[in-house]
Homo-oligomer: A and B are copies of this chain.
Amino acid sequence: MKQDSRLSATLHVLLHMADRGAAMTSEELAACLGTNPVVIRRTMAGLRETGLVRSEKGHGGGWTLARALVEITLGDVHRALGEPALIALGHRSENPQCLVEQAVNAALGEAFAEAETLLAGHFDRVRLSDLAADFSRRFDERRQAHAKHDQAI
């Protein structure tokens, strides 16, 4: 199954925006992901409508966060992207006449709903500030590793 990486990409972009502190153009953000600026604009359109980010045209324009990282959950971003399906498996047909298929749909549907609820709940509990904190931790770790390395030389 070809996987949907829009959530991953968007989180990446939002953290870079927060790190920068100033407006970033689609081109800059696209460079962070190694993709095309139009992909950024298209993906961010939903976030703009939901009020997570703002965009400005012209000189000095670009994208800025409309809320603090601590006020944005992964769930917010997922919803802003249009709530793409979380589960890669699906039913062969919805509302089948065949009773066998109805039983299959019921069993799988229950399992899918359970996993989806768990994942969506998890998304609602994680804030972008949590990711930023993890980033800082990794940053410090790398810095210390480099210092150790320099010392060894």
Contacts and interface: CB of A to CB of B under 8 A. Distances in A.
Interface of A: 1-5, 7-9, 11-12, 15-16, 19, 32-33, 74, 84-92, 98-108, 111-112, 114-116, 118-119, 122-123, 126, 130-132, 134-135, 138-139, 142
A129 to B, nearest CB: 11
Copies of this chain held together in the complex: 2
Contact of A130 (B15, B101, B107): B107
Given A16-B100, A84-B89, A108 B8 contact: yes
Nearest to A78: B89
Contacts of A123: 111
The 3 A-B residue pairs whose C-beta atoms are closest, nearest first, are A3-B90, A103-B135, A115-B119
A153 B134 CA distance: 70
Contacts of A105: 8
